[in-house]
Amino acid sequence: MTRSTRYPLEIRERAVRMVFEHEPEHPSQWATIRSVSSKFGMSAETLRSWVRQTERDEGRRPGLTTTEREQLKALERENRELRRANEILKSASAFFAAELDRRQSRRSPTSTETRPGSGSSRSAGTCRSPRRPTTTPRPGRPRPEHCETRS
């Protein structure tokens, strides 16, 4: 996502190149920048920032180059997205942990008997229940210890 600039890239490159070409004719780089910027109709500060960035890109001045700056922005953006995703996962984990705790606290941990109507339909015919079993147990299948047979 690049921002729109007031000056086209060709004008920017030409103005910076003119500053480097005409620098020996002026007492300082700032005087050169002011002279060239007035010819192009831009502020001297705009041209100065372009010249400084070009000097960094060419290795004449210390600092981040344009590609390093773009990479840094991309990494910072990725880092923000990962932190946001991590926060979402943490809150979802806390939510589901609380839901699990709530469900477990509903069950009474001391009761081992099955409640009427609970459990699987497979055990309905073999376990003790206030209702009459609807199925008969299969022969040769062992019964669980907590179940009784009805006669």
Q: What is the pTM of this model?
A: 0.52
Give residue-wise pLDDT tens across range 41-74.
Answer: 999 999 999 999 999 999 999 999 999 999 999 9
Percent of the chain with pLDDT over 70: 68
CA distances 147 to 58, 110, 114, 131, Å, are 85, 18, 10, 14
Q: How confident is the model at residue 16 (pLDDT cuts 50, 70, 90)?
A: very high
Burial of residue 47, with CB atoms counted within 10 A of its CB: 0-12 exposed, 13-18 middle, 19 or more buried: buried
Angle (CA) 78 79 80, round 5°? 90
> What mean pLDDT comes out for the span 101-108?
78
> What mean pLDDT comes out for the span 10-26?
95
Q: At residue 148, does pLDDT exceed 60?
A: no
Q: At residue 133, does pLDDT exceed 80?
A: no
Greatest Cα-to-Cα distance within the chain, rounded to the nearest angstrom? 117
Gap between the Cα atoms of 150 and 135, Å rounded = 12
Angle (CA) 85 86 89, round 5°? 85
Burial of residue 133, with CB atoms counted within 10 A of its CB: 0-12 exposed, 13-18 middle, 19 or more buried: middle
